[in-house]
Amino acid sequence: MGNILDKQVAIITGAGSGMGRAMALLFAREGARVMVSDLREDRLNDLMELAKKEGLHLITCKADMSIQEDVERVIQATLVQWQTLDILVNNAGIMDHFAPVGELDDATWNQVMKVNAEAPFRTMRSAVKIFLAKGKGVIINVASVGGLQAGRAGAAYTASKHALIGLSRNTGYMYAKSGIRCNVIAPGAVNTNISETINFAAITPLINERIMTGLALNPRIAEPEEIARVALFLASDAASFVNAAVLTADGGWSAY
């Protein structure tokens, strides 16, 4: 039996650490040729060192995927290297500081929406053109249980992940007859460094009353590799009839 993603070409955003890093390594170990983008060049360099030691087909590109020029640069670099694209994983994301709408400033709203919703839109728009020309392609967007429920984060993050899920399902439906699948992973709590994007100084007492109480129901925190295995399934032919779907991976947290 060959590797699950043998010779498939994938772009994974926000893959310098956490879930994206785990996905990049797992995809490459399963035979994929992976382009990794991230804002942090130091993390990309660390990932490349590990990939070299394992002999994996992986290249990196420092980029802000909410900027169309950076999107095109990453895609063109991928095409120059491997002449095609088969899989797009939008993993890059940031948190807000749990502010409800009455306490939310424009700067936070704009930045969270830019990274969590606008960036995937831009990469999807570019990737779909390639997929349409070849008659197939896979898009995987990493959202959150915060995109399914309303009390897991602040107004900006919640809105951005709801938007991403809606965008993903619409895309999967609209292009279903064109050989393109678009699905969503909605993780629960995962052991990543996304907390680095939280402005803890801006957190207000309302978070303890309305949001933090729900954390007591969380059975455990996942490791990035557990979410990467979900992405591998969705990227593979094993998920050939899974489209416009949201796969929740939260250990049962949202079942209550």
Query: Could you give the C-alpha distances from 211 to 146, 154, 176, in angstroms and in order?
Result: 11, 9, 37
Residue-wise pLDDT for 52-87, tens only, equals 999 999 999 999 999 999 999 999 999 999 999 999
Could you tell me the pLDDT band of residue 160, with boundaries at 50, 70 and 90? very high
Could you tell me the pLDDT band of residue 210, with boundaries at 50, 70 and 90? confident
* 3-class DSSP state of 175: coil
Average pLDDT for 189-211: 81
Domain spans of the chain, in order of start? 9-249
Paired with 186 in beta bridges are 248
Neighbour count for residue 10 (Cβ, 10 Å): 28
Could you tell me the pLDDT band of residue 203, with boundaries at 50, 70 and 90? confident
* CATH placement of domain 9-249: 3.40.50.720
> What's the confidence (pLDDT) of residue 216?
85
Q: Can you tell me the distance from the alpha carbon of 181 to that of 118, in angstroms, rounded to the nearest whole number?
A: 20
Nearest Cα to Cα of residue 168 among 231, 120, 112: 120
> What's the confidence (pLDDT) of residue 1?
45
Residue-wise pLDDT for 221-241, tens only, equals 999 999 999 999 999 999 999
Q: Are strands 246-249 and 180-187 parallel, antiparallel or unpaired?
A: parallel
Nearest Cα to Cα of residue 94 among 70, 127, 116, 66: 116
DSSP string, 87-140: EEEE----------GGG--HHHHHHHHIIIIIHHHHHHHHHHHHHHHHT-EEEE
> What's the confidence (pLDDT) of residue 200?
73
The chain-wide mean pLDDT, for the chain, equals: 95
> What's the confidence (pLDDT) of residue 244?
98
Average pLDDT for 35-44: 97
Angle, in degrees to the nearest 10, between helices 18-29 and 41-54: 20
> What's the confidence (pLDDT) of residue 31?
98
Q: Can you tell me the distance from the alpha carbon of 133 to that of 115, in angstroms, rounded to the nearest whole number?
A: 27
**Does the structure show a pLDDT above 70 at 2?**
no
> What's the confidence (pLDDT) of residue 197?
78
256 classed as catalytic:
no
Q: Can you tell me the distance from the alpha carbon of 149 to that of 202, in angstroms, rounded to the nearest whole number?
A: 23
Could you tell me the pLDDT band of residue 215, with boundaries at 50, 70 and 90? confident
